[in-house]
Chains A and B, each alone.
Chain A
Amino acid sequence: MILLLQYTLIFASVLVLVALGGCFSEHSGVINIGLEGIMVMGALGGALTMKYLPPDLNAALVILIVILACVVVGMLFSLLLGVAAIRFNADQTLVGTALNLLGPAAAVVLVRAINMAEDINNVSTTVAYGTAKKAFTTNIGSFEFNWFMLVALLVLIASYIVLYKTRFGLRLCACGEHPQAADSVGINVYKMRYAGVLISGALGGLGGLVYITAGVSEWKFENGVAGFGFLALAVMIFGQWKPINIGLAALLFGLFRALSNVYTGFDVLVALNLPNTVYNMLPYIISLIVLVFVSGKSKAPKAEGIPYDKGQR
């Protein structure tokens, strides 16, 4: 039971971080479907940093440096989307899809190159970060508390405040709803959209790191992040682009995702005798059903996906 709670919370943390990233980007008017690729790149940045950090570093410092690394890498990678979508009016879905292909391919090529440089016979795509990872967790009884759960909660609260209580957040939302109106009162729509995309890159990169450090001490980059970026998009839509709802939706999806890891611990579920794959499918099936019910009265930002054209009225 504790294990289920632990997995639920850690998966929910990943989903909350990435979904909030998507939320910022979409509120600024840019659809970020490339979150999956951003997660992989962020995870790569974090994993490599952990690999090369000296092992006897202070735990708090390790956490800080690693977070910084994956946030920066995620932001840089998201700039690819930002520049294409905001400066060059590219189709956001197309560019996002390209990022999703680019992230895993780049990660595999890089990790292989690094592994082969160390040992010519090592053609795996695995990055091991064993010792540095210990800094992230601390045991409370038999519950393995991960500091990123706290980080996710803080980011959630901060997002709520930023989006609804600050000038920046409200301006950001204006750019996603009616950019022309926002422009007419002196808001720089392009800047706001860059800000939205960069925040999504930062949170997406952080989410990727949390995902690969949840439970394991090495990551095989061939596997990417197994559709978590897309799941986060579903969480965002289910949460109707509102931070608090996103938090709740992430808990629900995290629970279903955790079930596939730990269902063997529950006699009731084992008795059902379902194959493992059914549990793997569950989060996706649930999100599809949920989408049917919530999409009818969608609260999506009105101008999302439409390149901003200053001359258009």
Chain B
Amino acid sequence: MQTDRKRESLLRNSGVQTIIGSLLCIAIGLLIGYVVLLIINPAGAGGAIAAILKNYFYYPSHVAVLKYLGTTLVKASALLVCSLSVLFAWKVGLFNIGVAGQYVIGAGASLYCALGLGLPWYVCLIAAMVCAALVGGISGALKAYFNVNEVISCIMLNWIGLYAVNMLLNTVKEQSTPYTKSLASANSSALLPNVGLDKIFSNNEYVTIGIIFAVLAAIIVWVLLDRTKFGFELKATGLNKHAARYCGMREKRNIILAMMISGALAGLGAAVLFLCGIEQWMVQMTSIPAMGFNGIAAAFLGGSHPIGAIFSSYFIQHITSGGSYVDKAMYSAQISDLISAFIIYLCGFVFFFKGWLGRLLDKRDEKRAAAQEKGGKAQ
């Protein structure tokens, strides 16, 4: 009886419910992915799902596993900062779908500062954050002063940003390819310092201080939102901006600031990825990079909590990277995009799931109380 009640109170805990919900989303998402693979080609479906889940464990040697774990971590750290960007805005009642565009702007600013202007990494990093913050701020200001829905303005800015960055980075691209010059050869001072982390991951030179920045960002966002007056004001504005104004908070300023911080985080995400040299920008890009949208997935899968986001963004990146190990003769790597898209879709049901679980527990409690009462009378 005692343990039963304990377990029940645990089930009633909102955090535990969120974790169960997220795990269910993952399980169902993978199941749907498996079914899709089965439909395409039943022969290799099991192997393909295993490959996606195994990711770098595909390699037999310990050294290679560590190396590719490092690569996954680098990309996951960028994804983590993007998901922080989404959840920060979400806590203030804003849906920052512009994270993708702010990420693009961050990439453009950091790469241009590095390759065009030859600046060191910390300047590039700050430039990325500032530029992305300004773009986020535009959406915030439009929302605060002109009542423009932030989702729509962000989407427009995503495309404007993509074309603008393509135009800007066209000036620093390689002669013969559509990619920007490699940082290592053009300006190695713009590479993020390794601070010895590369040694841990079998000399993977892409593992840099960026990972530390990402985790620090998660902790700072958590403290800022949950432990400071400013964070409280932001959340209050998100819950009811009229009430917030009535309480003497400057709701317009709060909306703009929230979008700017959210934008700065997206910019940081781009900087930690592009300034480690793992990827180069393709200046003929015609679609917005998926990183920002995956950030939305990670944010919601992590229960829109900064610490949850650490785990969820690692997971999303893990399966995204794992997609490249499926048997290419049968399937395409985009199967993992499909799975993460399904996971986001399912995240929409988590709220309903929590309500349903709560009602289920209520019903059981009622039944038990009724049974006890009956028992009491019988005696």
Chain A residues engaging chain B, CB cutoff 8 angstroms: 33, 80, 84-85, 88-91, 93-95, 97-102, 105-106, 108-109, 112-113, 116, 120, 123, 222-224, 226-227, 230, 233-234, 237, 275, 277-278, 280-281, 284-285, 287-288, 291-292, 295-296, 298
Contact = CB atoms under 8 A, between A and B. Distances in A.
B151 A223 contact: no
A277 B166 contact: yes
B348 A94 contact: yes
B146 interface: yes
Given A120-B329, A291-B152, A292-B146, A105 B341 contact: yes
Interface of B: 36, 40-41, 95, 97, 142, 146-149, 151-153, 155-160, 163-164, 166-167, 286-287, 290, 293, 296-297, 300, 328-332, 334-335, 337-338, 340-342, 344-345, 347-349, 351-352
A100 B289 CA distance: 13
Please indicate which of the listed interface residues B97, B142, B164, B290 has the most CB atoms of chain A within 10 Å of its own CB: B97
B35 to A, nearest CB: 12
A291 B159 CA distance: 16
Contacts of A280: 163
Given A113-B332, A291-B152, A91 B338 contact: no
Contact of B159 (A90, A99, A112, A284): A284
Contact of B40 (A95, A113, A227): A113
A164 B233 CA distance: 44
Given A108-B332, A113-B332, A90 B160 contact: no
A234 B332 contact: no
Contacts, number: 139
Contact of A102 (B95, B158, B296, B342): B342
Contacts of B159: 227, 230, 281, 284
Nearest to B337: A105
Which of B41, B152, B164, B167 is the most central at the interface, judged by chain A CB atoms within 10 Å of its CB? B152
A109 B334 contact: yes
Contact of A89 (B157, B167, B335, B352): B352
Contact of B300 (A94, A106, A278): A94
Contact of B156 (A100, A101, A105, A284): A284
10 tightest CB-CB pairs across the interface, nearest first?
A90-B348, A98-B345, A101-B341, A105-B337, A102-B341, A112-B332, A98-B344, A105-B338, A113-B40, A95-B348
B349 A123 contact: no
A119 to B, nearest CB: 12
Given A91-B348, A94-B300, A97-B293, A296 B332 contact: no
B147 A298 contact: yes
Contact of A287 (B41, B95, B156, B167): B156
